[in-house]
Amino acid sequence: MTFLGRTLDKIPFHLLNKAATQLAGQNAGRLRSHLIRNMLAMHHEISASLRRGVPSYPCCRPLYMRNLSCGDPRAGVNNAVETWLSESAFGFGAIIGAMEETDKSSPDSPGTLDILREADAAAAPRKPDASQIAAPIAKLSIGAPGSLPPRALVEKEIALLSTKDPAELRSLYAYLPGPGSSRTLDAVSARYGEQFGVKISRSEVMMLASCKSAIFTFLMAVLNPGEEVGGMTPEFPMHRSVPEILGHRYIAWEPRIDRGRFSYSIADLERLLDDHPRLRVLILSYPGNPAPFMFSEENLRDIVDLCLRRSVRIYVDAPYHEIIYPQIPGNRYPNILKAHPAARDICVISLSESKRLAIPGRRIGYLIAPEGIIRAVTRLAINFWSCPNAMNDRLMHWAYTEGYAGIEEWVRNEAHHYGEKAAHTFGRLKELEAEGFLHIEQPRGGFYAFPILTGETLQSPGMRALAERGLEGVRGLAIYLLLAYKTAAIPGTSFADPDSFVGRHGIRISFAGRPVEDVAVGLERFCRALRALRNGSVLPFPDKYIRHVDELLAVL
């Protein structure tokens, strides 16, 4: 089996992609294109399994996650677009918005209102609004900060736009150099140099349109055809989808899980690199999305040492690096640039203001990388979006110079508030752990908890009843929670292979966008739903939501 797998795996992935395009043809139709591409992806997964000598079929994930919604290819739509993955949270949020619009004119049934109001009253100190015709949706799914941005930042923007100087006003709408203005890059590099304890020059930093553009342009800059990308799973969806969009296979570094506690073995990573000699980039994220796992600096030193010997670059996706809860003694962000003397040579770090300053719509990110990579990414950036937004550049110059002390105090306070919500979330989930429903690791940073449901929970009478309705596993549970208990959480299948352990057992709970009282409401409904399912009690879906079942199955 191993010999056969190695033989099959010699066919480069980019040639298979090219073959798929030619076989599908411009007018071959969506279904044919979709099937051909998935068959070729399956070829690589099966050959990799044979090479390892272990039967495993993660190729099922594209069949679950991809849909055929692009339209008639004769209208000029690229057939390849329909095979690309996207973030479930965005599609999920759109359906939640549609449900909220429905609720404005269509009441919940008296029975549903009674159940949800009872749960809400038990969770929050305030009484539910009895005048509402429909219970509000508890959004434990949203990944956007619920806080308002720092007031001083808003006032600075108002002041900039209020200028009477025509030249000053014109500068707020002008082109900038591709990486950003030199004075802003000087300020940003100096502050992050202080944070990471290393000297960072202006030429090693650039401003981008968010962390998402950073990973896209970085992979384009460093990967050659046929090379592969590895990363921790469960993964932020774009860690997998962006390499696939660019024609590179994503290889998952599976965690070891002990009663909900994650660990990533260096020995497992070494075997992964042995099995995938074309793997050239390893993506790390800590604390991550969806799992709030944190490496130690000793772990990072070993990872850097291994990747250095194997000529693998490390991409650190770090949007939560300052959202580290101060309530936990000794809790701090592990510094990869100080973990190993050669880390600066092979590591790049992407940072974001979306989470740090609660301004996701501003789309501000940074890339810290060796100077040669910054030059290459700049060439790509100039072709994609020309330059950073001039207003963003001016605001960030202020935020990293004269406004820095106040901004950092605001960030520290926000980290404390997230720590309070994390502690409440962890406490409620620990109650369910004591009752045998799940296992949970304590979050130490970021916005998320990622409980692992037990086999007993997934095989409970209520879950079996949902499966008979076509709502199987954690994906079916997430749909049921939303439509019956009006509580939104995203299943592990959106972040990992549906056949993997974390895909089948995990569910992401976010406390990003709500105060503690609203998080408490969602968690109380979540707890009641699991307890009822264990007893075989399954609520019916309101008729007004039935049309969303197929939409949710397609999105998740």
**pLDDT tens for each residue of 525-543:** 999 999 999 999 999 999 9
* Interacting residues of 459 by C-beta distance below 8 A, sequence separation 6+: none
Question: Which of these ranges, 149-153, 211-215, 216-220, has the smallest mean pLDDT?
Answer: 211-215
Question: Which of these ranges, 73-82, 90-99, 272-281, has the smallest mean pLDDT?
Answer: 73-82
Beta bridge pairs of residue 167: none
Decide if pLDDT at 289 tops 60.
yes
Beta bridge pairs of residue 267: none
Are 341 and 197 in a shared domain?
Answer: yes
d(CA 293, CA 286): 6
Are 78 and 99 in a shared domain?
Answer: no
* Residue 409 included in any domain: no
pLDDT value for 68: 35
Are 72 and 99 in a shared domain?
Answer: no
pLDDT value for 130: 73
Q: Could you read off the pLDDT of 353-407 as tens digits, one per residue?
A: 999 999 999 999 999 999 999 999 999 999 999 999 999 999 999 999 999 999 9
Mean pLDDT, the chain, rounded, equals 87
- Where does residue 126 fall: left (phi above 0), alpha (psi -120 to 50 degrees), or beta otherwise? beta
Total domains in the chain come to 3
Confidence of residue 20 (pLDDT cuts 50, 70, 90): low
Are 134 and 234 in a shared domain?
Answer: no
Are 163 and 228 in a shared domain?
Answer: yes
DSSP 214: H
pLDDT value for 6: 53
Are 77 and 115 in a shared domain?
Answer: no
Are 268 and 339 in a shared domain?
Answer: yes
CATH of residue 133's domain is: 3.90.1150.10
* Residue 474 included in any domain: yes
Spatial contact of 58 and 499, defined as CB atoms under 8 Å apart: yes
* Residue 65 included in any domain: yes
Which residue matches tokens 């309070």?
Answer: 420
Decide if pLDDT at 140 tops 60.
yes
Nearest by Cα to 203 from 189, 217, 214: 189
Spatial contact of 211 and 352, defined as CB atoms under 8 Å apart: yes
CATH of residue 293's domain is: 3.40.640.10
pLDDT value for 17: 53
Looking at 375, 401, 427, the residue that finishes a domain is: 401
Question: Which of these ranges, 8-12, 167-171, 323-327, 414-418, has the smallest mean pLDDT?
Answer: 8-12
Are 478 and 431 in a shared domain?
Answer: yes
d(CA 321, CA 194): 14
pLDDT value for 516: 87
pLDDT value for 127: 73
- Mean pLDDT over 240-251 rounds to 92
Q: Could you read off the pLDDT of 459-488 as tens digits, one per residue?
A: 999 999 999 999 999 999 999 999 999 999
* Residue 406 included in any domain: no
Decide if pLDDT at 84 tops 60.
no
Are 176 and 53 in a shared domain?
Answer: no
Question: Which of these ranges, 35-44, 76-85, 314-323, 508-517, has the smallest mean pLDDT?
Answer: 35-44
DSSP 535: T
Nearest by Cα to 247 from 222, 221, 220, 272: 220
d(CA 49, CA 43): 10
- Extract the tokens encoding 276: 């995938």
The whole domain housing 486 covers 88-143+415-555
| 268, amino acid identity | D
Which residue matches tokens 């962006």?
Answer: 242
